[in-house]
Structure 1
Amino acid sequence: MLPNFFVVELHAVELPFASARNRAPNMTGPRMIQPYPEPFLGFADEQVHTKWYIELLTTFETSDAYRTVTVRYLIVDANSSYNVLPKSLRLVQEQIQQNADLLACQSSLTKLAPLEAVLFELDGTICESLQVHTFVLRNMLQEMGFNADTVTKEFLYDIVVGKTKDEIALSLFPDDLPRRLKFMEDEEAQFRKEVTHVWTKEGFGRMRRWIERRKFKRAAVTNASRAHAEFIISKLGLSDFFDAVITKDECEHGKPHPEPYLKALEALKASKDHSLVFEGSFPGVKAGVAAGMPVISLDFKAPFDLLMEAKPAFVIKNYKNHKFWDALYELEKAGRAPSV
């Protein structure tokens, strides 16, 4: 027993299951306990001294299902248990937030006045679905023979975050077009099978009411198939919200090409000079900007420097951002006819 040493769970795979049931050593490595030199910060910015890590097979369960995955546990020098973040990750998060706040302060949407149309991506923009997509993708890759220890959360995020489905399939099967097409179809089908409920991003209810009360035209624009898009829209209760839905089935080119957004403008009979885009991925931001519209980028999944190359008008975590709402009200004010 090691007095004054505590275990911190790190990089636990996100799964739609409840608490851990049991743990057993993962004996695939040459040694069970390995040194862990990276410095950590606690949530009060105090230094936490890391010692070692051990990878354990951990079972997560609900009343009727369970799954076992590899979780890395850190052993730290401390007098009590800790919730901590790697120092490097903490600094990255702070830099992203500072840059996003600066961008928000410098942005204006008044040139869109009067606003007439709002265009949305679905996944990652209106709904929270990344966790389910990575869960489905993990199962599919393991069924195809990928080593379970290889298909980590970091591996999945690296091939999923900020990528189109075509890019994901291309990275997995670069020389096999039929397999890529089947993989994309199977992933969407499995996603629809797994999902029983889809959650909207924080603050979207307020965004929806603001749009509906002003009777703006609205469209969903996605690289997903029509079947998948309609499934998500139905689960979100937005079947009567959108005036148009543009999917990969209607487009020769997907995002980051501007074609999907240009088709949406055509379907709505709206001008790019009076339309606003909400996006949740780097390719999507590029597509909206290339179509000639300002883009609101939600969430911080892409590296900030990369995201800035796409030139979004705003970067916000969710629809509760106060600076963003200030910009919307300024836009609304600019669109009002002057009193006589």
Structure 2
Amino acid sequence: MIKAIFFDNDGILVDTEILYFRANKEIFSKLGVELNEETYAENFLKKSKGVWHIAEKMGFNKDEIIELRNKRNNIYSGLLKTDLKIIEGAEEVLKYFHGKVKMGIVTSSRREHFELIHGQTGFRKYFDFEITSDECTETKPSPLPYLTALEKSGFKKEECIIIEDSERGLKAAIAAGIKCYVIPTELTKNSDFTGAEKILADIKYLREEIDL
């Protein structure tokens, strides 16, 4: 019986990965580099190493890369204010599970971006806790974010389930020893989801797949 659900944020509750891609693409286009979705997915959503190594190879130093990253973050913040889209069916699922299980959001997003997102969605009222990259010393695919969620939930690993959309998120779940359902997105559909408990086509199917 499941007593706690840990939701990833980007790609599961909100369609923000494409906005983050656009922000990175805009920065790199100014450097003369055409960043495509395949390269983005490989480096961010599979390997979780980002694309700043490309800038390093071009000769940019550490301080210059920090400046580029800050510009990227500002662009992303702007896109979140204008182009944010909620995943269809997400709120219905949250309403269904609210009060029946403990729920947490576990994301690699920065707190400032998380606040921008959920200041618009109204989803925070459904959750018992939130873990962003600002509250955790390591990010996915490290298991630490989900182990932190496990501790906050107060339940055993076998009483919890993780909902993810990316390969790096699944790796974090597996490393934490918690079963994971994956709901691929357009950006992550070609990833390796070996080890997932189930792969679902839509978030709406969680209501029938999770045994309370």
**Under a length normalisation based on structure 2, what TM-score does the superposition of the two structures give?**
0.84
Equivalence for 1:109: none
Residue 275 of structure 1, CA deviation? 0.9
Q: Secondary structure at the match of 1:140?
A: helix
Residue 191 of structure 1, CA deviation? 1.3
Answer yes or no: is the 8 Å Cα contact 1:127–1:198 preserved in 2.
Answer: yes
Distance in 2, Cα, partners of 1:172 & 1:266: 37
Distance in 1, Cα, partners of 2:154 & 2:64: 38
Q: Secondary structure at the match of 2:181?
A: strand
Q: Secondary structure at the match of 2:124?
A: coil
Distance in 2, Cα, partners of 1:182 & 1:271: 42
The answer to whether residue 206 in structure 2 is matched with residue 319 in structure 1 is: no
The answer to whether residue 54 in structure 2 is matched with residue 172 in structure 1 is: yes
Q: Which runs of 5+ in 2 are unaligned?
A: none
**Count of residue pairs the alignment pairs up:** 205
Q: Secondary structure at the match of 2:116?
A: helix
Equivalence for 2:193: 307
The answer to whether residue 110 in structure 2 is matched with residue 230 in structure 1 is: no
The answer to whether residue 120 in structure 2 is matched with residue 240 in structure 1 is: no
Answer yes or no: is the 8 Å Cα contact 1:295–1:314 preserved in 2.
Answer: yes
Equivalence for 1:135: 22
Residue 180 of structure 1, CA deviation? 4.2
Q: Which runs of 5+ in 1 are unaligned?
A: 1-112, 333-340
- Write 1 or 2 for the structure with the bigger share of helix: 2
Residue 201 of structure 1, CA deviation? 1.7
Residue 185 of structure 1, CA deviation? 3.5
The answer to whether residue 142 in structure 2 is matched with residue 257 in structure 1 is: yes
Judging changes above 3 Å, is the alpha-carbon distance between structure 1 residues 159 and 317 closer, same or farther for their aligned structure 2 residues? same
Answer yes or no: is the 8 Å Cα contact 1:279–1:297 preserved in 2.
Answer: yes
Among residues 149, 161, 168, which one is paired with 2:41 in the alignment?
161
Among residues 96, 104, 107, which one is paired with 1:219 in the alignment?
104
Q: Secondary structure at the match of 1:133?
A: helix
Q: Secondary structure at the match of 1:240?
A: helix
Distance in 2, Cα, partners of 1:259 & 1:313: 20
Give the residue type in structure 1 aligned to 2:37: Y
**Under a length normalisation based on structure 1, what TM-score does the superposition of the two structures give?**
0.54
Judging changes above 3 Å, is the alpha-carbon distance between structure 1 residues 179 and 318 closer, same or farther for their aligned structure 2 residues? farther
1:197-216 alignment runs, 5 A limit: 197-214=83-100, 216=101
- Write 1 or 2 for the structure with the bigger share of strand: 1
Choose between structure 1 and 2 for higher RCO, CA contacts under 8 A separated by at least 6 residues: 2
Distance in 2, Cα, partners of 1:305 & 1:221: 20
Judging changes above 3 Å, is the alpha-carbon distance between structure 1 residues 270 and 173 closer, same or farther for their aligned structure 2 residues? farther
Equivalence for 1:284: 169
Q: Secondary structure at the match of 2:123?
A: coil
Distance in 1, Cα, partners of 2:66 & 2:3: 37
What do you get for the CA RMSD once the two structures are aligned?
2.4
Distance in 2, Cα, partners of 1:231 & 1:314: 31
Answer yes or no: is the 8 Å Cα contact 2:8–2:164 preserved in 1.
Answer: yes
1:231-256 deviations in Å (ceiling 9; x for gaps) = 22222211322221112222222110
Q: Secondary structure at the match of 1:245?
A: strand
Judging changes above 3 Å, is the alpha-carbon distance between structure 1 residues 298 and 290 closer, same or farther for their aligned structure 2 residues? same
Please say which structure displays the higher CA radius of gyration.
1
